[in-house]
Amino acid sequence: MRVRSEHFGAALSTREKIALGVSGAIVLATVGYWVVQISDVISALKMAYG
């Protein structure tokens, strides 16, 4: 993908801001899910091994 020099450094468009917001929300949801899964595994291990 080629970036035009006159667009480089310009403010983000509305579509780009929405894309960044959605991407950030997906990353945060993934991290939250991962944390919950790890905590469930830790609690299961504590129940199994005391």
How does pLDDT run across 1-43, given as a tens digit for each residue? Answer: 555 555 566 788 999 999 999 999 999 999 999 999 999 999 9
The reported pLDDT for the residue numbered 10 is 74
Q: Which pTM does this prediction carry?
A: 0.65
Looking at residue 24, its pLDDT comes to 97
> What was the pLDDT predicted at 49?
93
Q: How much is the pLDDT for 3?
A: 54
Q: Secondary structure of 1-50 in the HEC alphabet?
A: CCCCCCCCCCCCCHHHHHHHHHHHHHHHHHHHHHHHHHHHHHHHHHHHHC
Whether 47 shows a pLDDT value over 80: the answer reads: yes
Q: Is 21 within 8 Å of 12 (Cβ atoms)?
A: no
Length of the chain: 50
